[in-house]
Structure 1
Amino acid sequence: MTHIQVLSDKPTLIAHALDLIVDKIHTTLQQQDQDKFTLALAGGSTPKPLYEALAKQSLPLEKIHIFWGDERYVAADHADSNQLMARQAWLEQVDFPPSNIHVMPTSGNDPSLDAQTHDQELREFFEVKPGEFPTFDIILLGMGDDGHTASLFPQTEALTVSDRLVTVGNKDGTPRLTFTYPLINHARCVIFLVAGENKRPALAQIFSPDGDPTLYPAKAVQPQGELIWLLDEAAGGELNT
């Protein structure tokens, strides 16, 4: 089921996303009698205030396991690291159990091998058999003005990977690690956070029946569970919702 919500501005979008995520964490752990909640984070500038807001919430951190949907192939302390941003904004601001933070490895000087390593780490954590895909409770995604999401970029090889959980994305010749479509689409809930007028052309294609997912990769995100698009007015104001 797809829900599209256009919020008045970015702070309102972030506040709505915060309420949604906190509610899903508590509801899932209480009603479904789960002992853990799995959350994959997005990089980029849009979710940073969301992570800062999550740091101020009272959450059962011992039951929350953090992952990333993609990561730039840089050192963990590099300014471009998605992991570093999330740690500074949220994870290091609270008493988060280190064993509950599952980073993508980016220090082996071999992106393909590191992708395989993380693929195996996910399989072991979720206890899935070969050929099966884990089910994340929430995967947060952003979207670039070119329509890419995670590190699934237009007309790149990563878009065609269907037999792995993690693969190597390509941004202008620079490698990144990324979740694959099948892994993303196996989630219980995928939440897009999209802000800014520069996103309007790509969104028009993504929500068009004629839009091409090889050119606008976010269009191919169609999870088995909920798909929630949270847009600010600048990004989504022209959509017929």
Structure 2
Amino acid sequence: MEKFVEVLADKTALIARSRDLILEKIQTAISQRGQFTIALSGGGTPKPLYEALAAESLPWDKIHIFWGDERYVPPQHPDSNQLMARQAWLDRVDLPETHIHPMPTEADNPTADAQAHEAQLKDFFPEAQDFPAFDLILLGIGDDGHTASLFPHTEALEVRDRWVTIGNKDGQPRITFTIPLINHARCVLFLVAGASKQTALEHILAEEGDPLQYPARFIQPQGELYWLLDRAAGSVIEDR
């Protein structure tokens, strides 16, 4: 694993740097493998990134969009990660609908939907032996140190034999990529903004710590790991 930690001046610089990095990864993946696979994150931080990518002229027919996790709500629900990404980016570009691979959330059975999405992923990545290798997985963290829907001291943290599982936040189910699937990625990119993330970042990036308490510590991909932080979040790193 190659690890990079960068503290950017502000959120505008954070978004610009993450856009440039993703554009670089798109070019490399398409030139080497003929397509680019990315798993998106939800939350407020990546929304301006998606809007910036919507303004780019890209080979959309070679890009496939997935999600690292999804709240268990219908696709048109205001809390849906899919809805946010569609409004900010996907519906604004010439991306084939068949290249958008959302997590299903309408069976009224999270376990069944998680299994269905895993089957969809296995159809898309037929060459995968144990786990597929996404070109890029975009992640954030919560103030509690969670990432995707991998929350502290929850059962999802123990799953090692599945690609997709059930996350749990205060009794509300979510669908999420598992730790080993994320760690199989060629590149994982964390975007972190805001002073409220400082405490979690200190624990996540410390040399030693408890990943069950701060699940983002579990993310150690086989490829590259980028932590891009705005100064409000990253000042604790600069001060160490």
- Cα shift at 1:27: 2.1
Q: 2:25 maps to what in 1?
A: 24
Q: How many residues are aligned here?
A: 238
Amino acid at match of 1:182: P
- Cα shift at 1:28: 2.0
**Residue 189, structure 1, aligned to residue 190, structure 2:** no
- Cα shift at 1:95: 1.3
Provide the secondary structure at the position in 2 that maps to 1:95: coil
- Cα shift at 1:23: 1.3
Amino acid at match of 1:229: W
Return the TM-score normalized by structure 1: 0.97
**Structure 1 Cα separation of the partners of residues 173 and 235 of structure 2:** 34
- Cα shift at 1:210: 2.7
Provide the secondary structure at the position in 1 that maps to 2:86: helix
The Cα RMSD (Å) is 1.0
The one-character-per-residue Cα deviations of 1:20-48 (angstroms, maximum 9, x if unpaired) are 10111012212x1x221100000000000
Q: 2:45 maps to what in 1?
A: 46
Amino acid at match of 1:117: A
Q: 2:123 maps to what in 1?
A: 124
Structure 2 unaligned spans of 5+: none
**Structure 2 Cα separation of the partners of residues 58 and 94 of structure 1:** 9
Q: 1:147 maps to what in 2?
A: 145
**Structure 1 Cα separation of the partners of residues 127 and 166 of structure 2:** 21
Amino acid at match of 1:12: A
**Structure 2 Cα separation of the partners of residues 196 and 38 of structure 1:** 28
The one-character-per-residue Cα deviations of 1:82-114 (angstroms, maximum 9, x if unpaired) are 000000000001111000000000000000010
Q: 1:216 maps to what in 2?
A: 214
Amino acid at match of 1:94: V
Provide the secondary structure at the position in 2 that maps to 1:86: helix
- Cα shift at 1:209: 2.3
Structure 1 segment 133-144 matched on structure 2, within 5 A? 133-144=131-142
Q: 1:179 maps to what in 2?
A: 177
The list of structure 1 runs, each at least 4 consecutive aligned residues, that deviate by more than 2 angstroms after superposition, is none
Amino acid at match of 1:54: L
Q: 2:103 maps to what in 1?
A: 104
